[in-house]
Structures are given as structure tokens and as C-alpha cells.
């Protein structure tokens, strides 16, 4: 059974930084592309970033390019999201994702979701 456990969320002031982590279990972590999505209150779930399984090629949604960085540590079965210069519009529940396909921007390519970690941003 695949388990994804996110951590690192919490209240941050506008302009601040945060690092999210997602520890995966129940799968061969290094054989899957991984990603982060977010869902703000009352909005659709939105693609944030993805990272390929082997050469660690990264992909980002337009709203976060240059602001967020996705990394992975295959030895620790852990995915990270480094977020800088956070703004109130970045507040959301951030969810870890395991991909079953290669079109990372498409929600239907996600095979498993984590429960999410809340990131509120204060002004």
C-alpha cells in the first residue's frame, strides 16, 4: 500500500520561505516520477511541480517558476518543495503525488495522492 506523508507546512509571513517534504512508503520510490500540486479554498487543484524518476528533470507550473524548486532524495524516499518569497495567493493545501504517467500537468496522470499539508500565508 502506497503511503505519502507530507510535512513542513504551517503559517508563514508574506515574503517568507518554507520547505515541504513528502516521505513515500510502499513503492519503489526511484522508479516513479513525483510531483506537488496545491488546492486553495474554493479552487481547482493546480499543478505545481514535478520531477522525473532518474535524471531528475524538473517541470513547473507557470505561477511558481523561478520561485519554487522541487528536489528528491531517492536514498531517503523523500520529495521536497522549496518555496521562496511566498505571497498570500500561494496559500493552499499542498499535496504530494506519485505519477502513473508522463504528462505531469494532467491530474489524471497522478496515481496516488498524499493527504496534504496546509500552507497559510499572512500579510
In tens, the pLDDT along 20-41 reads 999 999 999 999 999 999 999 9
Average pLDDT for the chain:
95
Q: What is the pLDDT of residue 54?
A: 78
In tens, the pLDDT along 67-78 reads 999 999 999 999
pLDDT over 70 percentage in the chain = 100
Nearby residues of 3 by Cβ (< 8 Å), 6 or more positions away: 24, 25, 26
Q: How many residues belong to the chain?
A: 123
Q: Is the pLDDT of residue 89 over 80?
A: yes
**Over residues 5-11, mean pLDDT:** 96
In tens, the pLDDT along 42-57 reads 999 999 999 998 778 9
**Over residues 5-10, mean pLDDT:** 96
Pairing of strands 121-122, 12-13: parallel
Q: What is the pLDDT of residue 102?
A: 86
Secondary element (H or E) of residue 99: strand 92-99
Q: Tell which residue, 13, 59, 14, has the closest CA to residue 37.
A: 59
Q: Is the pLDDT of residue 60 over 80?
A: yes
Amino acid at each position: 500500500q502506497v503511503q505519502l506523508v507530507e510535512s513542513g507546512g504551517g503559517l508563514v509571513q508574506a515574503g517568507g520561505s518554507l520547505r515541504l517534504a513528502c516521505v513515500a512508503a510502499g513503492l519503489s520510490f526511484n522508479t516513479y516520477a513525483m510531483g506537488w500540486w496545491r488546492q486553495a479554498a474554493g479552487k481547482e487543484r493546480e499543478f505545481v511541480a514535478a520531477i522525473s524518476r532518474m535524471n531528475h528533470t524538473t517541470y513547473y507550473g507557470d505561477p511558481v517558476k523561478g520561485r519554487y524548486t522541487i528536489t528528491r532524495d531517492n536514498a531517503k524516499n523523500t520529495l521536497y518543495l522549496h518555496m521562496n518569497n511566498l505571497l498570500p495567493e500561494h496559500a493552499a493545501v499542498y499535496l504530494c503525488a506519485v505519477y502513473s504517467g508522463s504528462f505531469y500537468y494532467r491530474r489524471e496522470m497522478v496515481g496516488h495522492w498524499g493527504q496534504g499539508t496546509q500552507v497559510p500565508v499572512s500579510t
